[in-house]
Amino acid sequence: MKIQCSGCSKAYRINDNLVHQIYTQKVLCTDCGRLIPVEPFLLDPKELEPFLSGEALKHEVVNNLKKLYPMPHILLKARKLLAGTGNFQALGDLLNTDPALASRVLKVANSAYYGMSGRVSSLQMAATVLGSGTLLQIILLIGNAKALGRSLDGYGLNAGDLWRHALATAVCAELVAKKAHCDTGEDAFFAGLMHDAGKIILDTYVLERKHLFQKYAKLTHAPLHDAETKILGFTHGDIGYELCRKWNLPVHMATAIKDHHPPSTSGQAPLTSILQLANHMAGLTTGRPSGQSIPPLLLKALHTLQITEHELEELIGEASTAVETLEEDTY
């Protein structure tokens, strides 16, 4: 990679294999003594020039949100029916208009995850026994399974990859919320399931710029959201936030989704801490080796929630079994 001093125009070449060690730093020009920031040279401005970015691109994406990821029709109606006291009979009638959907709801309601194993025989019983929050959770799972289950060529995700991670994050988020005695279990599950929904919306834009993302990753070894910020001007978390607002979901849920990669900018609210930990845990429930030390940036989340690293390991084990059960019943 080539860098150039702005003072004397002397050029230097840095071995590509070494860039990741120094790209956030400045190097000394041996001719004039100026400090040269390395980061601006990671991508050639001419490579970025053909593509829209920043606020202009974000405006385009936000304007297309309803088309790119509409709220599942059944979820929209269910939320309205269950608002306030909840209308279980009307909800049962709604679900019964789609026998295939009703059957899937009953299957998930009888999942071992919800502790009902074969005891729920009707939608009305599911609503009464499980409660409106849990029933909405099940409808959320079913309503978003297709969208979250698709392949994303821009992000290099095969069909089912995003769904498994989203499901694992949702389960982990709910477990962490309960462990931390936070009254946000239902919101945590919802936020966990939808935290990466922004990737679905951004995938075509990332695919158009695939060579830039690959180059940035090769040079920096940086997390994906850093590449999004550099190339697009915002992250999938930012777009997830905008999607939540379009769906009229609570601000604290939208904010947690926006900041699910630490460090956050939301004052480390409980739900944000929960989602950050859950996102980390999800990877450990779906094939990565256990026993890894907690990343330093997540220690703040552990402290905020007053959960020990040992307790976190126990939750990961508990989540692994739950994810396996739910994945079989929902995807």
Per-residue pLDDT of 239-252, as tens digits, reads 999 999 998 888 99
Q: What is the pLDDT of residue 208?
A: 97
**Last residue in a domain, options 99, 124, 145:** 145
Q: What is the pLDDT of residues 8-17, one digit of tens each?
A: 999 999 999 9
User: Is the pTM here over 0.75, yes or no?
Assistant: yes
d(CA 203, CA 271): 26
Rounded average pLDDT over 34-38: 97
What does the pLDDT read at residue 142? 86
What is the average per-residue pLDDT within 109-113?
84
Q: Which residues of 197-224 are buried (b: 16+ CB within 10 A; e: fewer)?
A: bbbbbbbebbeebeebbebbeebbebeb
| Nearest residue to 199 (alpha-carbon basis) of 141, 151, 249, 142 | 151
Are 115 and 229 within one domain?
Answer: no
Same domain, 166 and 308: yes
Cα–Cα distance for residue pair 288/312, rounded to 1 Å: 15
Number of structural domains the chain divides into: 3
Residue 309 has pLDDT above 70, yes or no: yes
Same-domain status, 24 and 116: no
Of 135-139, 213-217, 222-226, where does mean pLDDT reach its minimum?
Answer: 135-139
**Within-domain flag for 121:** yes
Stronger pLDDT, 292 or 24, i.e. the higher one: 24
Give CA–CA dist 274/182, Å, rounded. Answer: 9
pLDDT of 73 higher than 80: no
For the chain, percent of residues with pLDDT exceeding 70: 94
How confident is residue 83, by pLDDT bands cut at 50, 70 and 90?
A: low
Instruction: Indicate the average pLDDT of the chain.
Output: 88
Residue 59 within a domain: yes
Beta bridge partners of 26: 37
* pLDDT at residue 172 greater than cutoff 60: yes
| Full residue range of the structural domain in which residue 283 is found | 48-71+149-330
pLDDT, position 76: 75
Q: Are residues 57 and 25 in the same domain?
A: no
**Cis omega before residue 263 (within 30°)?**
yes
Q: List, as one string, the DSSP characters of 3-69.
A: EE-TTT--EEE--GGGHHHHTTSEEE-TTT--EEESGGGSS-HHHHTTS--HHHHHHHHHHTHHHHS
